[in-house]
Amino acid sequence: MEGEFTVKLLRNIEAAEHANKGRESLKYKIWKENKKMWVVAAPANSPYDDFTRFIRKAFSQAFIGHIGSKELAAFALVSTVFLRFAQGILLGMANGLETLCGQAYGARQYHMLGIYLQRSWLVSVIASTVLLPVFIFTTPILKAIGQEDEIAEMAGTMALWLIPVIYSFIVSYTCQMYLQAQSKNMIIAYLAAIALSIHVFLSWLLTVKYKLGVSGAMISTVLAFWLPNIGQVIFVTSGGCPETWRGFSTLAFKDLWPIFKLSLSAGAMLCLEVWYNTVLILLTGNMKNAEVAIDALSICLNINGWEMMISLGFMAAASVRIANELGSGNSKAAKFSITTIVVTSFGIGFVLFVFFLLFRERIAYLFTENNDVASSVGRLSPLLAFSILLNSVQPVLSGVAIGSGWQSTVAYVNIGSYYLIGVPIGILLGYVYNLRVQEFSILLTYSSFF
């Protein structure tokens, strides 16, 4: 048979089923939709893989920050610029798998999910290998764009430590999308919670108890990223998904080009969002008092990212719910899902908005002992809080695009809003009108909301 991509996944459900749904009360519909939503989103708002992956990196940053300010600046560069560069590509490509698995599951084409997963593994391994030179030559790259030699050398050493983390993203993201489509992501939550506990213990043991410094923090980071992946693969291949995993198949090597195209579209959509913070860090590093500026900005982006991880849980819920409903041919239910998830995510974002307005620079001392850095974070707190509020909605809308297969359209929107409007305005304000780095960075961030 010619490629499975010619098979139409979207199909109509029985007319009687539609009629029964039409007679349901609004209260019951909201209750039922929330149950389906939280099956996917709840783990993301507790010890879920995306959330704890971010926390693992935050803990590494916290331990390294207490080693020294230059070490913190180097880690901020390599994690926010280079690691996020790779992470954006691989997570974006995995979102293409999320579209396929979600719609296939809604259309009851269960056997295709395992095939799609294996195809995504092949495509992601190729992409990760292509990215390796960026991490191998981190030091000369940073020196070429004007970073301080000492910070660039330290960042280059950290980048080599993070190469195994790049390959961990392949298993982590693809298995996550595969399991989410089936609402079986609680196993990821359990594994991620265990990995987080191990990471905190090892970070303390190696950096505080045995004083191994940066090397100790990086060893703990690598182990923490790989441990849950091993558990996920064992779960998938050892009977955890009997309907959708039929074993390894040679069909995985067929129709790779359509998978590659969809993965590129999904990758472009997400990368254009994720890399925007990278632009902030790079431009900040070339301004006055770069060390304090990078530290303060990286802490703000880190805090912003904590809330973003919660919103990404709702993004996952939106993509799964929309894909499943479209796969079963029920567009009305898909629209109702969008409304429910957006309202819920915005409500949580508002609570966090108030929280960060109240605590301001006190939060910065979790990451640094430098009073200048903490003061800079305090001055940014009101704008940071507004950013958190707005970010509670945007990822959910991206989830709608993923579930609908609109990644290419959103990629064009992101090019316009982030890079044709945001970056030029930020450069104008920062370099022409000489605004302080803090205001420059936040204004550049806010221009993304165009």
Extents of the domains making up the chain: 23-449
**Cβ neighbours of residue 1 under 8 Å, at least 6 residues apart?**
none
**Cβ neighbours of residue 41 under 8 Å, at least 6 residues apart?**
313, 314, 316, 317, 341, 344
User: How does DSSP assign 265-298, residue by residue?
Assistant: HHHHHHHHHHHHHHHHHHHHHTSTTHHHHHHHHH
Is it the case that residue 172 has pLDDT exceeding 70? Answer: yes
Is it the case that residue 444 has pLDDT exceeding 80? Answer: no
**Which of 61-75, 76-90, 213-227, 280-294 bottoms out in mean pLDDT, i.e. has the lowest?**
280-294
With 0-12 CB in 10 A as exposed, 13-18 as middle and 19+ as buried, what is 31? exposed
Distance CA 308, CA 225 (A): 19
Distance CA 177, CA 180 (A): 5
Cα of first residue to Cα of last residue in the chain, in angstroms, is: 45
Given phi > 0 = left and psi -120 to 50 = alpha, else beta, which region is 255?
left
8 Å CB contact between 325 and 358:
no
Average pLDDT over residues 424-429: 66
Closest to 396 in 3D by CA, of 326, 332, 320, 448: 320
With 0-12 CB in 10 A as exposed, 13-18 as middle and 19+ as buried, what is 97? buried
8 Å CB contact between 167 and 222:
no
Higher per-residue confidence, 207 vs 169: 169
**Which of 92-96, 132-136, 241-245, 439-443 bottoms out in mean pLDDT, i.e. has the lowest?**
439-443
pTM above the 0.75 mark? no
Distance CA 326, CA 1 (A): 24
Residue 437 CB-half CA count within 13 A: 23
What is the pLDDT at residue 311?
74
Q: Which two tokens stand for residue 51?
A: 């959330």
8 Å CB contact between 172 and 51:
no
**Average pLDDT taken over every residue of the chain:** 75
CA 225 to each of CA 62, 123, 164, 197, 198: distance values in angstroms, whole numbers, following the listed order: 17, 20, 9, 12, 10
If you search the block for the tokens 């254009």, which residue do you land on? 272
What is the pLDDT at residue 12?
46
What is the pLDDT at residue 314?
80
Distance CA 200, CA 217 (A): 10
What is the pLDDT at residue 132?
93
What is the pLDDT at residue 135?
93
Total Cβ atoms within 10 A of residue 400? 22
Q: What is the Cα 218 distance to its own chain's centre?
A: 20
The predicted-structure confidence for 272-322, as pLDDT tens digits, reads as follows 666 665 565 555 555 555 566 667 766 776 777 667 777 777 877 777 778
Distance CA 295, CA 354 (A): 24
Higher per-residue confidence, 121 vs 296: 121
Is it the case that residue 190 has pLDDT exceeding 70? Answer: yes
User: How does DSSP assign 295-333, residue by residue?
Assistant: HHHHHHHHHHHHHHHHHHHHHHHHHHHHHHHHHTT-HHH
Tell me which amino acid residue 349 is: G
What is the pLDDT at residue 260?
77
**Which of 112-116, 119-123, 385-389, 428-432 bottoms out in mean pLDDT, i.e. has the lowest?**
428-432
Average pLDDT over residues 374-386: 75
